[in-house]
């Protein structure tokens, strides 16, 4: 009997070439954790790490475990990409469910591309009257920026290539790749 076609290619057949290897990611995440800690040494309440779902889940879980600070974790979900193109329209899929008033919020993003998502979130989170809002992103495609957004901590500035892995997806797939790969 012929075998059924797999639903999606196995990870070993993921497209593209490795852009950032797992050891490079781990090293940089550790450095970011130390940079961030140094900025929050005088906290008056536990820091809130805001996971921007779904792309940031792996980055946040690694970063949080390297970050030697009292912290809480909250999630928010937005959508803007279809396939390899940003739609330019940011949609709130799931809002925060805890008060952010008078709290220090660090938004954790997988990648800042045009900046539309972050501009939307900075405004949205700002309406909750937090004490401070900062942003850490693992990746930045600064050459693609259309919105002038301030990014406090950047892991890697990358060229204008579509990337997958370590949380980043192509139509929902490949988030579980351990490294970051660039498509052609």
Contact 142, 87 (CB under 8 A): no
Task: CB nearer to ligand IMP: give 103 or 117.
Answer: 117
Task: Report helix, strand and coil shares of the chain as percent, to nearest 5.
Answer: 25, 35, 40
Residue whose pair of structure tokens reads 């390297």 in the numeric block: 66
Stretch that binds ligand IMP, among 8-16, 22-30, 107-115, 173-181 (CB under 6 A): 107-115
44, 68, 110, 113: the active-site residue: 113
Q: Which of residues 19-78 bind ligand IMP (CB under 6 A)?
A: 55
| Residue 156 site contact among Mg ion, ligand IMP, none (CB < 5 to 8 Å, cut-off depends on kind) | none
Contact stretch for ligand IMP (CB under 6 A) within 63-71, 97-105, 123-131, 162-170: 162-170
Pick 100 or 117: Cβ nearer ligand IMP: 117
Burial (CB count within 10 angstroms: exposed 0-12, middle 13-18, buried 19+), residue 114: middle
For the question of residue 157 being annotated catalytic, the response is no
**Rounded Cα–Cα distance for residues 32 and 66 (Å):** 9
- What's the N-to-C CA distance of the chain in angstroms? 36
Residue 63 C-beta: closest distance to ligand IMP, Å? 16
* Cis status, amide bond into 54, omega within 30 of 0: yes
Contacts of 150 (CB under 8 A, 6+ apart): 135
Residue 163, binding choice from Mg ion, ligand IMP, none, Cβ under 5 to 8 Å by partner class = ligand IMP
Q: Could you list the residues that contact ligand IMP (CB under 6 A)?
A: 55, 80-81, 86, 109-117, 162-163, 168
Residues recognised as catalytic: 113
């Amino acid at each position: 009997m012929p075998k059924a076609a797999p639903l999606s290619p196995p990870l070993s057949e993921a497209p593209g070439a490795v852009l950032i290897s797992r050891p490079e990611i781990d090293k940089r995440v550790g450095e970011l954790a130390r940079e961030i800690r140094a900025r929050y040494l005088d906290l008056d309440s536990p820091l809130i790490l805001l996971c921007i779902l779904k792309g940031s889940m792996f980055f946040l879980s690694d970063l949080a475990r390297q970050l030697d600070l009292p912290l809480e974790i909250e999630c928010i979900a937005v959508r803007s990409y279809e396939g390899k193109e940003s739609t330019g329209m940011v949609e709130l899929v799931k809002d925060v469910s805890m008060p952010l008033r008078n709290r220090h919020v660090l938004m954790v993003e997988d990648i800042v591309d045009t900046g539309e998502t972050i501009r939307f979130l900075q405004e949205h989170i700002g309406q909750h009257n937090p004490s401070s809002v900062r942003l850490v992103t693992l990746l930045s495609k600064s050459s693609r920026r259309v919105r002038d957004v301030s990014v406090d901590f950047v892991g890697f500035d990358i060229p204008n290539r579509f990337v997958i892995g370590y949380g980043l997806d192509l139509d929902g797939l490949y988030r579980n790749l351990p490294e970051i790969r660039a498509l052609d």
